Amino acid sequence: MPLTEEQQREIAEGAAAQRPTRRPTVAALEDILHAALPVLDHGFLRVIDYMGDDGAIVQAARVSYGRGTRRVSEDAGLIRYLMRHRHTTPFEMCEIKFHVKLPIFVARQWIRHRMASVNEISARYSVLDREFYLPAPQHLAAQSELNRQGRGRSLEGQEAAEVLALLRQDAERNYRHYQDMLNEDEAGQRRDPARAGLARELARMNLTLNVYTQWYWKTDLHNLFHFLSLRADAHAQYEIRAYAEVMLDVVKRWVPLAHAAFADYRLGGVSLSAGGLAVVRRLLAGEAVTPADSGLSMREWRELMAVLGRVKEPG
């Protein structure tokens, strides 16, 4: 996880700076502000700035209730009520900005979450670093036979070694060709003074998707929770889940009451369809329900049974 000298200087300056403020701050989050939290082999996540705390969520919710109801509920109970009943606007009062270093293929998944402000390093302007993600052996797996976008059995032994060798060789070869086309070395100096080199915006198309990129990503807490509900889930791709898990720890530091409610009602909870709820009620009444008379598709049936702990959900 090497940081550039400029990034190291920025972190040092941020840690040393003392800025008196009347705004609410969160000590646990201040402790890691600007620090590079490692993710994967060369990636990191940094909290650059934030606005609001648990109190901001409560404040926004109670302003619509009027003065007479300010003491009806404790903060934790109110936040849990908001989460439970999907009152999302109060959570939008909190915002956070991250600096993230991540493989390009992870970034292309991440960018599908559109309710954020994003600014990514431009390979038209800058030469990307010679850093690429190589999975640890335990994260190499075959294509799932049941899930078209998931992993199945783990690769082992010689098979895993051959895949890792191909990933490394292709990434290194393509990066060398990238430098050759640019006619630049890693210091940005022209290799052959007699040759101009290919434009950066064209040379970049030869890079592999495991090369690292960087961006600043700013979002509000409501949309961050939506991101985490999908990407911190056990079914999410491991590489983006690794970032989501670090972000979960950041959220726990930042808004512990909201984090607890989110963990309870979203990460640890389930949502049932009307048909699924009807099946549960029939089961509670002692009725023997089969897939054929459940009114559910086989996929819905398997998912419901997995939620109820009756069968293991397929990977």
For residue 230, what are its two tokens? Answer: 């999908």
Q: b/e string for 69-98 if b means 16 or more Cβ within 10 A?
A: eeeebebeebbbebbeeebeebbbbbbbbb
* pLDDT for 148 beyond 80: no
Cα-based angle 198, 203, 204 (whole degrees, multiple of 5): 155
Residue 1 pLDDT: 59
| Average pLDDT of the segment spanning 191-218 | 92
Strands 141-143 and 43-51: unpaired
* pLDDT for 216 beyond 90: yes
| Average pLDDT of the segment spanning 28-54 | 95
C-alpha span between 244 and 100 (Å, rounded): 11
Catalytic positions: 231
* pLDDT for 67 beyond 60: no
* pLDDT for 44 beyond 60: yes
272-292 pLDDT tens trace: 999 999 999 999 999 999 999
* pLDDT for 225 beyond 90: yes
Q: What length is written for the chain?
A: 315
* pLDDT for 244 beyond 60: yes
**Predicted confidence band of residue 71 (pLDDT cuts 50, 70, 90):** very low
2-17 pLDDT tens trace: 677 888 888 788 777 7
The CATH number given to 1-132+211-269 is 3.30.1360.170
* pLDDT for 215 beyond 60: yes
In whole angstroms, how far apart are CA 280 and each of 21, 77, 294? 53, 28, 10
Residue 73 pLDDT: 57
| Average pLDDT of the segment spanning 180-194 | 82
Residue 150 pLDDT: 62
List strand residue ranges (DSSP E) for the chain, in order: 37-39, 43-51, 95-103, 117-120, 141-143, 151-154, 212-220
Residue 193 pLDDT: 84
Residue 68 pLDDT: 47
For residue 96, what are its two tokens? Answer: 């956070």
**Predicted confidence band of residue 40 (pLDDT cuts 50, 70, 90):** very high
